[in-house]
Structure 1
Amino acid sequence: MATTINDLPEVILSAIITLVSDTRTRNSLSLVCKKFRSMERATRASLTLRGNARDLHRIPICFTAVDQLDLSLLSPWGHALLSPSAANTDPLLLAQRLRDAFPSVTSLTVYSRSHSTIQNVSRLWPGLRRVKLVRWHQRPHSPPGADSDFVPLFSECQSLLELDLSEFYYWTEDLPPVLEAHPGVARSLTKLNLLTTSFTEGFKANEIKSITAACPKLQHLLVACMFDPRYIGFVGEEALLSISANCPELRVVHLVDTTSLANARGDPNDNGFTAEDARVGRAALVDFFSGLPLLEELVLDVCNNVRDSGLALEVLGSKCPRLRLLKLGQFHGICSAIGSELDGIALCAGLESLSIKNSADLTDMGLIEIARGCCRLAKFEVIGCKRITVKGLRTMACLLKKTLVDVGISCCKNLDAAASLRALEPIRDRIQRLHIDCVWEQEDAHGFDGIDYGGGIGLNRNGDDGGDYMDLNWAAEYENRSSKKCKLGMDGECSYMPRSNRHGYGDWSWYDETWERLHYLSLWVGVGELLTPLPSVGLNDCPNLEEIHIRVEGDCRGKHRPTQREFGLSCLAGYLRLSKMKLDCGDTVGYALTAPPGQMDLSLWERFFLAGIGSLSLSVLDYWPPQDRDVNQRSVSLPAAGLLSECDTFRKLFIHGTAHEHFMMFLVRNNNLNLRDVQLREDYYPAPENEMSTEMRVDSCCRFEDALNRRPILD
């Protein structure tokens, strides 16, 4: 008689099922037999609930082992969780049902439209250790500290260790008094995420001092700050030093200016220097780094000039030997790149992830020096550095060929789409994740005819003597002497082209090569531009590409009608394994209802963006519609609803905005039996407080959910 997996002891079988983390795989396991189903339910540790709060009474009670529960996607429309209006049953009975279904919850994510929600869940699970609060609606109007959202949480949950407020709409003045009023809980906190994207000014210096003084055991601190010295309460040297003095056990520190959280793309033609210098000097940085010996991740995105930072970064490398991730914004002089000696950031030899943003004096030689010193880099991102060119990044890729698998290139004047792909050719067969800007002007201007695309070895774009030719040749010779040979371009050596051929690339046959391991691609596209040239510049063969993120940004108002009928999504049909897409048009601004004569409103722009999406075999789509900021409206239009309904492969569709009920019904009437999960999410600040009468309301959303659930389910 054959032995099957069912013959294994239950202890071993349970351990095997516990090791399976993929949700769909676990669901498939539960369909094998009743034994597998009971074991899968008994071993599931995390669960995310979607749908409407009115259906909470239907929750099964077999997930008793769940300790990580996400309720943030319940009832995005209407009333607060566990309120009398949110369900057809008594809120107390519903709360009891939740407690019985999930008795072991220690980690909770919840949408809190009012402080009563936090009060209810805190009483349900007083043993919570990790909490993430979500709120896209505006904070209820009341004086700071009155009816604070945090008071019931700190009062009831005495074991709280981690608090995440990165997606929570609140006022910075609310938090410090609560921490001071509950010193026991504050002293036990180890992780505090305050990178809230809704802030306009961020935490001030005195608030950061109060928070760090109340939480001396912090290991993770992520804060949205205000570094601009023109404002009262800006974060400067004193605030930085208070962080290292009050919380010496910090392992992860992210200090980001609120202007950077807006995620707006800069101007590639900008010189890289801001009008104001940050009030953070070299000596203060040295003391700050010296006070954090356990540091593993550091993000300093200051958005104001930090000059001559190389020496401070050398101290960072020596005083923080565990540092693995570093992101710097508006830091200048990070490495001098003079001679063969390493200096500055190149001495942070343990780095595995490095992001450099708006470093005005970073050159090709600086990239080469970083590659020589930081030889463990697996991820490298460069943003807004106008002086680097194809040749420097190409040499860097060659030097890091054995480790580099994740690259992001954005807003660099000399690195458009084609240039970025040429620079990454040495690691084309290894790279797994990639971000580039879809900027085509240089290709259109030169027609791929072999003319120099800027950033030459001896000459820069203006024809001036760049002065780096001998240094660049020295870098190549250094690699040859070290026996680190790799193919770079057409000559087969880790070196640059000879002077006689520096104005042409000659053979373009490498464009036909395969990006074998690339599974994630991120693209930035300016509004009005096309996606169509993407395959022709070098990304035509990506056999394992599974996920793509496209961000369209710009102001449609005043733009002429595009010369083409569609944006170009159909060109992605050649990526046969592509199944997940994020199409983010949330930063595309236009006219929501009517446009002046000769201009397009957002409905016509949506038709332009989504045309051709039906030719793709997508199973998951996250879609951010364009918006009209003047009326705070981000809504799916009729053309967009029609085009989305043509996609019969969708399994999950998440629309980050609003929609008319009859538009959403298109998705039900097209007989797409694969569609399982459709959500409307108002996850943008501020979410509309009262939905318009013509938009999707609470009852409308319920009717759509009922129609979606009445369809037959294939699996």
Structure 2
Amino acid sequence: MAIIPVAATINDLPEVILSVIFSFLSDVRSRNRLSLVCRRFRALERATRTSLALRGNARDLHLIPRCFGSVTHLDLSLLSPWGHALLSPAASSLDPNLLARRLRVAFPLVTSLVVYARSARSLQVLAPQWPGLRHVKLVRWHQRPQSQPAGDDFFPLFEHCHSLSTLDLSEFYYWTEDLPPVLQASPGLAKSLTKLDLLTTSFTEGFKDDEIRTITEACPNLKQFLVACRFDPRLIGFVGDEVLLAIAANCPKLTLLHVADTSSFWNTRGDPEDNGFTAEDARISRAGLIDFFSGLQFLEELVLDVCQNVRDSGLALEVLARRCPKLRALKLGQFHGLCAAVGSQLDGIALCQGLESLSIKNSADLTDMGLIEIARGCCRLRKLHIYGCKGITVKGLRTLACLLHRTLVDVSISCCKNLDAKASLQALEPICERIQRLHIDCVWGNLDDSGGGYHNFDMIDSIEHDNDIDEDEYEYERRSRKKYKFDFDAMANTSYDGVGLWSSKSWDRLEYLSLWIAVGELLSPLTMAGLEDCPNLEEIRIKIEGDCRRRSKPMEREFGLSSLTIYPKLTKMVLDCKDTIGYVLTAPAGQMDLSLWERFFLNGIGILSLDELDYWPPQDQDVNQRSLSLPAAGLMSECITLRKLFIHGTAHEHFMNFFLPMPNRRDVQLRGTYYPAPENDTSTEMRVDSCCRFEDALNSRRIDD
């Protein structure tokens, strides 16, 4: 009798090999699906997971999982009730030390920790449990307790975790004077730090000059340093040449340096009609920049967002190109004179030929020819962000797109006077099939004008190639340019689709789209502007900004979210209305309150097939009110496909109950991720008991997955 061979399956592989295969999977949902195959797969997946974010309620000690023994990165910042200290009296009557011990037993190998530390007590309890911590991120959007002694938030961490190498305070509200004394008091630990992130977005003034000197002197081995400060010379403790030179002298090993003015954190959009120059110049000289760059030979990423004029910077940037050959990412804010763009000789920033990411913000004298020179010199650019450059037009951006057509995949164009939505998309049309991430401003202009921006490729033929470019490379570029010129001249004789764009063009690789739009404007013209064909778009971020109190009632019923149904793979949305300001309960006669504006923004969202939604409600600044309204709750409850809903504000308990009948809902959370987060919940909004009741009801449902 013949033996029929049985085909081998993945189950026949030894567990050692399967464990290696599982360890290469990083996507959380993919791992979760894998664990549903069989018990063996479930055990192996749990045993190989190294990163975990706990999302349960701190009172439920018995639900802490104990099958993730290999986890090294643990995120406790999302425990509910969100924003409360671990097992604080407001959240539970249990002993916080008991929770800390249970966490240590469940996750014995933790070396990286993220925790919401509303009070110093959280770190006093957690830090002794993992003395081997190397990476710590602290989160706090609530105000720092006024009575708390200086440095009290950091002493427990520095006392118990002697192996600490990374400290991230970018989402942690504290006082700038808290940190320097602690670093001085712990010289051994300070010298072991290699990354220090002090870009705290809730700061209004940032670190002063003497504080930055103290920090860099205490941490000479830093490789990554991010700090918020003020460059305005009218303020006490401003940053100038002396501070920059001190950073370079004290921390010569830096590979990543971000120095940003706190005013750059404000999300409000600038005025495109502004001339681009500030009233005051920064106290940063050309000689100071040259010495600064000369001391940072290992630099790979640099951000100088100054928000004050830095003039004639081209020569200093040439020194940056020579002295920092490893530089790959550069962001400059309020730098003028980036390149002369005279003749065919490259100069200024165009000599930074190793750059892969470039962000230029508020450069008043940057023109089309300067942008083209940058494209010629920085031929490896994959990421380009341009903000507030009024001298750039469709011609310059379109030429840049052709020169960088093989590399550029991430583009952001914002607050540029001559580049509205249609003009930006026209300029990027030659590389639309390559772009993966895109940001534009929804400034519609005249969408019916089919005239501008199509025949501007004559400029390309006049660009002389640089002597440093290989002849074969140059010949390839010339052929590519001729091809583009031929194609577009042919297209000029074809018929349009009615709005001035060719309907055959598709944004095939676009996965992420970010939009800015003024309050009262409509989103629906987006497809008319040229983004009607995005077959792989998965995520969209929409930022709505403006003062509703100055706007009349919109003529249309809805903002236009329903127009996004043309994107078949769109599953994730961030709807950011936190910079939309209006009346909560005090709207004068004839004016809309915020609940009616929310109805306008969210109408039509129910027909989208979203898996995840992040929503920032608009606010009334007079009372620091950022709360979900009844119309908003009702409209979001119509999104029956939603799995995750995060509301960055407060809500009434009975509004949250609207979300319980939704069949696919897995995770709902209220977060006050804005400063200042609400200190005391009102009697009718979500409190600790309300959150617990809602979570119990949500988790008691049967979930078919």
Q: TM-score per shorter chain, which class?
A: over 0.9
Alpha carbons of structure 1 residues 473 and 9: separation in structure 2 relative to 1, 3 Å: closer
* From 549, 552, 555, the counterpart of 2:544: 552
Q: Distance in 1 between matches of 2:304 and 2:62?
A: 46
What is the CA distance between 1:480 and its match in structure 2?
Answer: 8.6
Residue equivalent to 1:466: none
Residue equivalent to 2:403: 399
Residue equivalent to 1:4: 9
Residue equivalent to 2:479: 485
- Contact map agreement 1:476 1:495 (CA 8 A) in 2: no
Pick which of 471-480 and 594-603 moved more: 471-480
TM-score normalised to structure 2 length: 0.95
Residue equivalent to 1:168: 172
* From 685, 703, 711, the counterpart of 2:675: 685
Structure 1 spans left out of the alignment, 5+ residues = 458-468
Residue equivalent to 1:475: 463
- Contact map agreement 2:91 2:688 (CA 8 A) in 1: no
Deviations for 1:655-711, whole angstroms, at most 9, x for unmatched residues? 11110000010011xx32111000110111001110011111111111111111111
Q: Write the letter of the residue equivalent to 2:695.
A: E
Residue equivalent to 1:568: 560
Taking the TM superposition and a 5 Å limit, the aligned residue runs for 1:262-661 are 262-443=266-447, 447-450=448-451, 452=452, 474-475=462-463, 483-486=477-480, 491-492=485-486, 508-661=500-653
- Contact map agreement 2:450 2:500 (CA 8 A) in 1: no
Pick which of 82-91 and 645-654 moved more: 82-91
- Contact map agreement 2:450 2:499 (CA 8 A) in 1: no
Please, what is the CA RMSD of the aligned residues? 2.3
Q: Write the letter of the residue equivalent to 2:696.
A: D
- Contact map agreement 1:425 1:489 (CA 8 A) in 2: no
What is the CA distance between 1:326 and its match in structure 2?
Answer: 0.2
Residue equivalent to 1:463: none
- Contact map agreement 1:485 1:494 (CA 8 A) in 2: no
Residue equivalent to 1:215: 219
What is the CA distance between 1:139 and its match in structure 2?
Answer: 0.1
Alpha carbons of structure 1 residues 456 and 508: separation in structure 2 relative to 1, 3 Å: closer
What is the CA distance between 1:24 and its match in structure 2?
Answer: 1.1
Q: Distance in 1 between matches of 2:212 and 2:458?
A: 48
Residue equivalent to 2:210: 206
In the comparison of the two structures, how many residue pairs are matched? 692
Q: Distance in 1 between matches of 2:364 and 2:691?
A: 50
Q: Distance in 1 between matches of 2:106 and 2:331?
A: 42
Residue equivalent to 2:258: 254
Does the alignment pair 1:30 with 2:35?
yes
Q: Distance in 2 between matches of 1:36 and 1:483?
A: 51
Does the alignment pair 1:93 with 2:98?
yes
Does the alignment pair 1:126 with 2:126?
no
Q: Distance in 1 between matches of 2:309 and 2:84?
A: 45
Q: Distance in 2 between matches of 1:327 and 1:207?
A: 24
Q: Write the letter of the residue equivalent to 2:281.
A: D
Alpha carbons of structure 1 residues 85 and 377: separation in structure 2 relative to 1, 3 Å: same
SS at match of 1:675: coil
Deviations for 1:246-273, whole angstroms, at most 9, x for unmatched residues? 0000000000000001122110000000
Deviations for 1:105-149, whole angstroms, at most 9, x for unmatched residues? 10000001100101111111111100000001000112661x610
Alpha carbons of structure 1 residues 482 and 339: separation in structure 2 relative to 1, 3 Å: farther
Q: Distance in 1 between matches of 2:241 and 2:622?
A: 38
Q: Distance in 1 between matches of 2:35 and 2:443?
A: 48
Q: Distance in 2 between matches of 1:132 and 1:374?
A: 35
Pick which of 557-566 and 382-391 moved more: 557-566
Does the alignment pair 1:178 with 2:182?
yes
Residue equivalent to 1:138: 143
Residue equivalent to 2:246: 242
- Contact map agreement 2:344 2:464 (CA 8 A) in 1: no
Q: Distance in 1 between matches of 2:539 and 2:89?
A: 41
What is the CA distance between 1:484 and its match in structure 2?
Answer: 2.8
Deviations for 1:472-499, whole angstroms, at most 9, x for unmatched residues? 662289999764333699842699999x
Deviations for 1:199-238, whole angstroms, at most 9, x for unmatched residues? 0000111000000000000000000111110001100000
Q: Distance in 2 between matches of 1:595 and 1:538?
A: 38
Does the alignment pair 1:666 with 2:658?
yes
Q: Distance in 1 between matches of 2:535 and 2:32?
A: 28
SS at match of 2:426: helix
- Contact map agreement 1:272 1:360 (CA 8 A) in 2: yes
Q: Distance in 2 between matches of 1:489 and 1:271?
A: 37
Q: Distance in 1 between matches of 2:48 and 2:369?
A: 53
Q: Distance in 2 between matches of 1:165 and 1:488?
A: 51
What is the CA distance between 1:312 and its match in structure 2?
Answer: 0.5
SS at match of 1:54: coil
Percent of aligned pairs with the same amino acid: 69
Q: Distance in 2 between matches of 1:28 and 1:200?
A: 45
- Contact map agreement 2:96 2:125 (CA 8 A) in 1: no
- Contact map agreement 1:476 1:496 (CA 8 A) in 2: no
Deviations for 1:629-673, whole angstroms, at most 9, x for unmatched residues? 1111111000000000011000101111110000010011xx321
Residue equivalent to 2:197: 193
What is the CA distance between 1:442 and its match in structure 2?
Answer: 3.6
Q: Distance in 1 between matches of 2:303 and 2:172?
A: 21
Q: Write the letter of the residue equivalent to 1:91.
A: P
- Contact map agreement 2:267 2:579 (CA 8 A) in 1: no
Alpha carbons of structure 1 residues 487 and 349: separation in structure 2 relative to 1, 3 Å: closer
- Contact map agreement 1:526 1:552 (CA 8 A) in 2: yes
TM-score normalised to structure 1 length: 0.93
- Contact map agreement 1:202 1:224 (CA 8 A) in 2: yes
Q: Write the letter of the residue equivalent to 2:529.
A: V
Alpha carbons of structure 1 residues 505 and 641: separation in structure 2 relative to 1, 3 Å: closer
Q: Write the letter of the residue equivalent to 1:543.
A: P
Pick which of 212-221 and 20-29 moved more: 20-29
Residue equivalent to 2:3: none
Q: Distance in 2 between matches of 1:363 and 1:181?
A: 50
Q: Distance in 2 between matches of 1:472 and 1:202?
A: 45
Q: Distance in 1 between matches of 2:371 and 2:207?
A: 34
What is the CA distance between 1:52 and its match in structure 2?
Answer: 1.8
- Flag as ranges the 4+ runs of structure 1 deviating above 6 A: 469-472, 476-482, 487-490, 493-498, 504-507
Deviations for 1:417-463, whole angstroms, at most 9, x for unmatched residues? 000000001101111100000001243xxx3242x47x997xxxxxx
Q: Distance in 2 between matches of 1:100 and 1:325?
A: 42
* From 41, 50, 54, the counterpart of 1:45: 50
- Contact map agreement 2:499 2:528 (CA 8 A) in 1: no
SS at match of 2:649: coil
Q: Distance in 2 between matches of 1:79 and 1:472?
A: 59
Alpha carbons of structure 1 residues 484 and 494: separation in structure 2 relative to 1, 3 Å: farther
